[in-house]
Amino acid sequence: MQKVAVIGLGSMGMGIAQSCLRGGLQTHGFDTRPEAVERFAVEGGAPGTLDEVAGAIDTAIIVVLNAQQTEAVLTSLAPQMKAGASVIACVTMPPEFARTMAALCAEHELNYLDAPISGGSIKAAAGQLSIMASGAPEAFAATEPVLDAISEKVFHLGDAPGAGSAMKAVNQLLAGVHIATMAEAMTFGISQGIEPETFMEVIPNCAGSSWMLENRGPHIVNGDYTPHSQINIWPKDLGIVLEIAKAAGFPAPITSVALERYMEAVKMGLGTEDDAAVAKVYAEDADLKLPGTS
């Protein structure tokens, strides 16, 4: 039985840890928030501090907030792990940063899988994530039982760390723009007398639909901005997209404008609301009323 450590028990990490448990893996869960660790222990998480178990675990899954936290975790953890153990790095980061993390792990004879995830917290909890993975064949082989437990689809994007992160950046460009575009279209509809509810009855059956529109649109219809995924994610993720685009001499004007919309939302104090709340920026601009808001 593989011994697994999930580092970061946020909305994605907690679901991943639960899926590992359900998949029959001995799973430790770690987080800077003691209440998250305790909650997971109650659900069947294995005991011990990270320092205590680091030498025994076969696979560490890193689901912290950003590249800097990933680096901090691995700088401390990698030297403590046994040779031949594996790291699955799920955080969205620039491909160049993923290559640096892979090199750090290689110094300690650890397998490294560049493995950003897609699917949201509900799919994480169901063990049905999509994983955009790249790494050496040994890294795929060693982590197979873990990947099986947490994902529905694993895309094999080659041997080189960085390819997974590049595909994740492409996906985030699309996802981030599509949420903001859904908000632009739905509020534009309101300005033309179309209720959000009617919008959601019609558009998912038409050529204007997107995965994000169908997923986030109902949040606006219901006026429910409980964060499944926060506004704050997008300045970070679209920032990564624009950073690596700039380094490649690639102008991305639609992404740039979408990023500005999210930054406007953060400025309005909406950073910790669900990302569908970017619609409030449009409502404010054009003096429109969204469902369930005053």
Site for its own copies in 198-257 (CB under 8 A): 198-199, 201-203, 205-213, 215, 241, 244-245, 248-257
User: What torsion do the CA atoms of 209, 167, 138, 31 make, to the nearest 10 degrees?
Assistant: -80
Q: Which of 116, 110, 77 shows the shortest CA–CA distance to 95?
A: 116
Q: Does 191 bind its own copies (CB under 8 A)?
A: yes
Which of 184, 218, 228, 236 is in the footprint of its own copies by CB under 8 A? Answer: 184
> How far from chain centre, in Å, is Cα 136?
23
C-alpha–C-alpha distance, residues 216 and 199, integer Å: 13
| Interface pattern 89-128 for its own copies (x via CB under 8 A) | ------x----------------------xxx--------
Minimum CB distance to its own copies, residue 66 (Å): 19
* CA nearest neighbour of 14 among 52, 64, 49, 85: 64
Tell which one of 35, 192, 226, 289 touches its own copies (CB under 8 A): 192
Please identify which of the residues 3, 82, 123, 168 carries the catalytic annotation: 168
Mask for 139-178, x = binds its own copies (CB under 8 A): --------------x-x-x-----x--xx-xxxxxxx-xx
Least distance between its own copies and beta carbon 176 (Å): 9
- Interface with its own copies (CB under 8 A), residue from 56, 106, 136, 194: 194
Q: Which residues pair with 26 in a beta bridge?
A: 3
Size of the site for its own copies (CB under 8 A): 70
Q: Cβ(176)–Cβ(211) under 8 Å?
A: no
Q: Which helix (H) or strand (E) holds 6?
A: strand 3-7
Cα–Cα dist 180/186, whole Å: 10
Q: Which is nearer to its own copies, 32 or 293 (CB)?
A: 293
Distance CA 223, CA 21 (A): 35
Phi and psi of 96, rounded to 5°? Answer: -60, -40
Distance CA 199, CA 197 (A): 5
C-alpha distance across the termini of the chain, in Å = 54
Min dist CB 51 to its own copies, Å, is 36
| Known catalytic membership, residue 246 | no
Choose between 7 and 93: whose C-beta lies nearer to its own copies.
Answer: 93
Catalytically active residues are 168
- Which residues make up the interface to its own copies (CB under 8 A)? 95, 118-120, 130, 132, 153, 155, 157, 163, 166-167, 169-175, 177-178, 180-182, 184-189, 191-194, 198-199, 201-203, 205-213, 215, 241, 244-245, 248-258, 260-261, 282, 285-288
